[in-house]
Structure 1
C-alpha cells in the first residue's frame, strides 16, 4: 500500500497507464453527462430567477414592505433573506449529499433530490400575500435539492466518464448552470409585464419541469462503475466502463481500468476501517480537503456573481435602465463563453487555464475599482460615458474569463482529487464552502458597496491573486489521468509544477 512518498508499490498496485489514447468520445458518455447536468440547470434556474422577481409589482405587493407613499419596497435584510435562503438550503443539502450518495447510490440520490425540488417549488408558488417567510422557506427547500445535486452530479459524472472526456463531461454541469440562469432571465423578461401573479408564478412553476425530467431521466442510465464495483457488482462496472469509453468489455483498456479500480479498493480494505474523521487523517487527505475547500471558495471570490447582482448599476452609465435587458446581456456573455470554454478545457491543461482565467479576472477588477471610484460620475454617470464604457467592457471580460475557466473547471478538478472511499464526504464539504461564500456575497454585498462603492473590486482582485497562487503551488494537473492515477500522484507528493509530465510507469516496484 502507498502510504508515503518513498513507499514502494506492490506489483498488483501499479497504477494503470492512462487509457485516454484508446478511448473515443462516445455518444453514451456525452448523453450521460448532459442528462445528469440537468441538476446544474435546476441550480442556475433557481438562482437566476429571483433577481427578476423583485421589480415585479405583484411580487412586491405580496412580499414587500409598504411605504408611506403607498409603494412597496424590500429592505436590505428582507431582500437578502429571500435571496440567501436558497444558499442556506444549498449548504445543508451539500452536507447531506455525501451520506445519501454512499447509501442510496449516485444515480438514485440524483433522482430523489430532483423530485425533492418539486416540494420547494410548491411551497413558493402557494405563498399568499404577506407570507414572505413561506416563500423564503420554499427557496430553502429548493436549495436542499439543488445543493445536493451540486455534489452528487459532478461526482457521478467524474466516476463514470472516461479519462479522455472526463473534464469535458463534468464541465457540462457548469454549462447547464449558465443555461439555467439564462433561461430564467428569458422567462422573467417574457412575463414581467403581466399584472397578475403569473409574472412570477409562471417562471417559478416551470422549475418543476426540469426537476421531473432529471428525476425520471437519470434512472435510464447505469450506476457509477466505481460505486458499483465497491458494492460488489464487478461485471456491471466492466460493461459500464466499456460502453462509456466506446471499447469492448474485454479490451486491454477496460482491463487496465478495472485492475486499477480493484487495486485501490484492495488497498482501502487492507487498511483499518474507515471512520468519518479519516477524511482528514488519511494519506495526504487533509491537504486535499483543504485544497478542495479553498478552490471552491475561490470560485465564488473571483467575484463574477457581483456582476450578476449589480450589473444594472454598471449599465446605467450607458443609458440602459431596464434591469431585464441588463441580465440578458450578462447571461448571454456567460452562456457563449461557457460553450467556448468547453473546447478550451478539452485542449488546454487544467492548471494553465485556471491560472490564466484568475489572472485575467484580477486585472479586470483592478481596472473596475480604479475607474469606478475615480473616473465615473456617481451622481450622473451619463456625464462620463468613457468611464461607463470601460466598466462595461471589463465586466463582460471578467464574466467571459470566469465562464470559460473557473466556472467550468473547479467542479471537475475537485471531483477528481479524492479517493473513492472519501469522495462523497470531501466533495460535500468542498461544495458547502462554495455555497457558504455564495451566501455571504449575496447577503452582504449591498452593505459593503454602500460603504466603499467600487473599491469593492479590490477585494475580488486580491482573491483572484490568491487563486493564482493556490493553483500554481498546490493543484496537481489531472488532465488525461484516471482517477486512480490522480490519487497516486497526490500520495506520492508529485510536485504540482511537474505533474503535467508525470507518468504512471515512472513508479518503480
Structure 2
C-alpha cells in the first residue's frame, strides 16, 4: 500500500490532535460575546475564567503522565482509543454543566483525555513513519491542532448568534463527534510496528511495515529498515532496563530528556496559548468589539492551518528541526515587541484608531499563523517523539508532554490576570522568553533530520549497534558480540 496508506493512517490518528484544537472553543465561550454563558455563570471574573481554562490543562498533565504507562502496556493504538472514550465523557459533562464546579470537572476529565492523546498520537505517528517523511507525518499533529482551532473558532463565531443556553452548550458538546470517529476508526488502523516487535509479535510487525512503507521498488529498504528496528529493540530488551530512572541514568539519556522537555517548555513560553485561549481578549484590548472579534479569530485559525501544512510538507524534512525553531523564535519576539508598542501607544478598549487596530491584528496573526506555525508548533511534537530509544520512548515522551502541560497550566492561569493588571506590558514577558528560546535551541538542541528512530543513538552519542540502513546488512549484532569477545 505504501505512502498513501501511511499518510492516511497518520492523518486519521491525528484526529486526537484535532480534539486538542477543538477544545480551543473555550476561548470563544468565555468571551464577552457569549452573553448567555456570562449570565448563566454569573459573569465570572478573571480568576474564575483562568480556573476554567487552566483546569483543562491540569487534566492534560495527568493524562499525559498516565499515557506513558498505558502506551507501553496496552499499546499506542489502544491508548488512543481510551483517550477518545474519556474525551466523550468530559465533553458531555461540559455541555451539560449546571454550575462552574460542574463545568470545571468536565474540563478536568476532557483534559485528561486530551493530555493522553497529545502524548500518544505523535508517538504513534513517529513510529509508523519512514525517516525521510517523519517530519511531515508527525507534523500532521500540529496541522490537525490548527484545523481543530479553526473549526472551534468558526463554531464560536456562529454560535454567538444563538439565543439561549444552546449558545455555549452546543459548541462544548460538538467535540463528542470527532472523539467518536477516532474511537471507531482506530479499530481498522494498525498497531505501531515497533510496539509489536517489543511485544514479540514479529510477523505482525513485518506485515505492518510492508503495508506502511513498501512498494514495488524498495524491497531492500524494507528489509534493512525492519532488520534495524528488530535488532535495536531486541538488543535494548536484552541489555537495558526500562526503569523510569533510565531517563537520566547516563549523560546521553539525560540530554535526551532535557532537550525533549526543553522544546515543550520553550513552546509554551512562546506565548502561543495566550493567543489561542484568549485571542478575543487581545483584540478587545485594541478597541475592537462585536462580532468581528470572533470572525478575525477564525481567519487567523485558517491562515495557521494553511501555513502549517505548507511548512511540514515542503520544508520540515528538507531544512531540519533547528533552523525553523531559531528563526521562528526571533520572529515571534519581534512580532510581540511590535504588538506591545502598538498597544502601549494606541491600545485600549476605547481606542478608535483604525490603522493601529489593523496593525495590531496583523502582528497577532503574523506571530501565530506565520512564525509559530512554521517553528515550535509542528517541530515540538516531531522532536520529542523521535529522540528516545524504544525501551523508554513512551515514558520519555510522557515526561516531555507533562512539561508542556505544566507550563500550560501556569500560563493559562496567570494570563487573564496579567492582561488585566499590566495590559500591554504582558507582551514584553514573551518577547524575552522567545529570545531565550532561540539561544537555547541554537546552543543545546542537536539536529535529528533524516535519521531513523534507531539512529538517534548516534545523534546523542550512545550508539552501540551498527545500523542496518548504514551497513546495508541485515545482521549487525554479531559485530557487537565479536568486539565484546576481543
Q: TM-score, normalised by structure 1?
A: 0.86
* C-alpha distance in 1 between matches for 2:55 and 2:161: 26
SS at match of 1:222: coil
Q: Secondary structure at the match of 2:132?
A: coil
2:252 alignment partner in structure 1: 284
Query: Is 1:478 aligned to 2:448, yes or no?
Result: yes
CA distance in 2 between counterparts of 1:101 and 1:272 reads 19
Report the aligned-residue RMSD: 2.4
Residue of structure 2 aligned with 1:74, choices 44, 61, 64: 44
1:388 equivalenced with 2:357 (yes/no): yes
- 1:37 counterpart residue number: 14
Q: Deviations over 1:426-445 (max 9, x none)?
A: 11111111111112111101
Count of residues in Structure 1 that have an aligned counterpart in Structure 2: 465
Matched position secondary structure for 2:109: helix
Q: C-alpha distance in 2, partners of 1:350/1:82?
A: 34
- Return the alpha-carbon distance in structure 2 between the equivalents of residues 429 and 203 of structure 1: 31
1:309 Cα shift? 4.0
The answer to whether 1:353 aligns with 2:330 is no
Where does 1:101-116 land on structure 2 (aligned, <5 Å)?
101-116=71-86
Is residue 58–residue 108 contact of structure 2 (8 Å, CA) maintained in 1?
A: yes
String of CA shifts for 1:68-104, please: whole Å, max 9, x gaps: xxxxx11122111111111111111000001011110
Q: Measured at CA, do residues 245 and 379 of structure 1 come closer, stay the same or move farther in structure 2, by a change above 3 Å?
A: closer
Once residues 80 and 482 of structure 1 are traced to their aligned partners in structure 2, the CA distance between those partners, rounded to angstroms, is 41
Structure 2 equivalent of residue 183 of structure 1: 151
Residues 86-485 of structure 1: pairs in structure 2 closer than 5 A: 86-128=56-98, 131-247=99-215, 251-282=219-250, 284-316=252-284, 317=286, 319-322=288-291, 323-342=293-312, 343-373=314-344, 375-378=345-348, 380-382=350-352, 384-399=353-368, 400-485=370-455
The structural deviation recorded for 1:218 is 1.2
Residue number among 43, 52, 55 corresponding to 2:29 in the alignment: 52
Displacement, 1:364?
Answer: 1.3
Structure 2 regions of 5+ residues with no counterpart? Answer: 464-468
Helix, strand or coil: the match of 1:404? Answer: coil
Contact 1:102 1:424 (C-alpha < 8 Å) held by counterparts:
yes
The aligned residue for residue 13 of structure 1 is none
Residues 198 and 320 (structure 1), Cα distance of their counterparts in 2 relative to 1, 3 Å cut: closer
CA distance in 2, matches of 1:112, 1:258: 29
2:217 and 2:197 mapped to 1: Cα distance? 15
Residue 26 of structure 1 pairs with residue 3 of structure 2: yes
TM-score calculated relative to the size of structure 2: 0.90
Name the CA distance, whole Å, in 1 between partners of 2:170 and 2:279: 24
In structure 2, the CA distance between the partners of 1:386 and 1:192, relative to structure 1 (3 Å rule), is closer
Deviation (angstroms), 1:249: 11
Alignment check: 8 A CA contact 1:349 1:479 kept:
yes
